[in-house]
Homo-oligomer: A and B are copies of this chain.
Amino acid sequence: MASDLSEKQQSILRFLEEFIAEHDYPPSIRDIQSGCDISSTSVVDYNLKRLEEKGYIRRDREVSRAIELLNGQGERRRRTLQVPVLGKIAAGLPLPVYPDTMAPLEVIDLTEDMTSGRTGNFYALRVQGTSMIDALINDGDLVILEPRETADPGDVVAAWIVDREETTLKKYYPEGKQVRLQPMNATMDPIYEDATNVRVQGRLVGTIRSF
């Protein structure tokens, strides 16, 4: 990529990234001029127009420092999602239903690399206990969930098993009146439950563990 850019344009892009990383606000035309050793503001303007045409940046006209970095296909990048940590998850507890207005315990910043590029109304729960070890999820891990009451085959879901009164995290495969729940640990056998005995509470988007 970036082979459709002149050397000066690449230099400007690099400068933009560095400047924004350092200051958290974009540079002015003249900042770019001196930062990239360009002789005139009009040259900077000229190349910024080319970069905008090619989908690497977006500018708001007439607004100072209004340069937004894009990914080269005209899409926004570096967007972070603020995901609220609403509580904890444990085998013996159903996922509580949290009111939208509930104040989160904590908010974590996720990048789209963590959600496979998907966006949605995610929330996070802290795993308590080792009961989900069969899902390769440990005590203290953070699970990212998308609230849902249905799931597509193959989705990893948080499901409440009614008669056992427990929450489990497994791959979801509806099979007629039954549901096959496949542990993520491939060496383990699936369990089968009657469809009426399984309540999907959310779709698992990802898990995070830090040491």
B111, A80: Cβ atoms under 8 Å?
yes
Question: Which residues does chain B contribute within 8 Å of A78, judged by CB atoms?
Answer: 24, 80, 109
A186 adjacent to chain B (CB < 8 Å)? yes
Q: How many residues of A contact B (CB 8 A)?
A: 48
A60 adjacent to chain B (CB < 8 Å)? yes
B211, A156: Cβ atoms under 8 Å?
yes
Question: Which residues does chain B contribute within 8 Å of A79, judged by CB atoms?
Answer: 21
Interface positions, chain A 156-177, Cβ under 8 Å from B, are 156
A184 adjacent to chain B (CB < 8 Å)? yes
A83 to chain B, nearest CB (A): 9
13 A-B pairs besides A24-B68, A80-B80, A80-B109 with CB distance below 8 A are: A24-B78, A25-B26, A25-B66, A25-B68, A28-B64, A114-B210, A136-B138, A136-B209, A155-B211, A204-B211, A206-B209, A206-B210, A207-B209
A76 adjacent to chain B (CB < 8 Å)? yes
- Assembly CA distance A203 to B21 (angstroms): 26
Number of copies: 2
Question: Which residues does chain B contribute within 8 Å of A211, judged by CB atoms?
Answer: 116, 155-156, 203-206
Question: Which residues does chain B contribute within 8 Å of A21, judged by CB atoms?
Answer: 79
Residue of B nearest to A110 (CB): B111
B133, A133: Cβ atoms under 8 Å?
no
Question: Which residues does chain B contribute within 8 Å of A130, judged by CB atoms?
Answer: 186-187
Q: A116-B210, A156-B211 are in contact. Are A65 and B68 (CB under 8 A)?
A: no
Q: A67-B25, A138-B184, A185-B133 are in contact. Are A114 and B208 (CB under 8 A)?
A: yes
Question: Which residues does chain B contribute within 8 Å of A26, judged by CB atoms?
Answer: 24-25
19 CB-based A-B contacts, threshold 8 Å? A23-B60, A25-B26, A25-B67, A65-B65, A78-B80, A80-B80, A80-B109, A80-B111, A116-B210, A116-B211, A133-B136, A133-B185, A136-B136, A138-B184, A138-B185, A155-B211, A203-B211, A206-B210, A208-B209
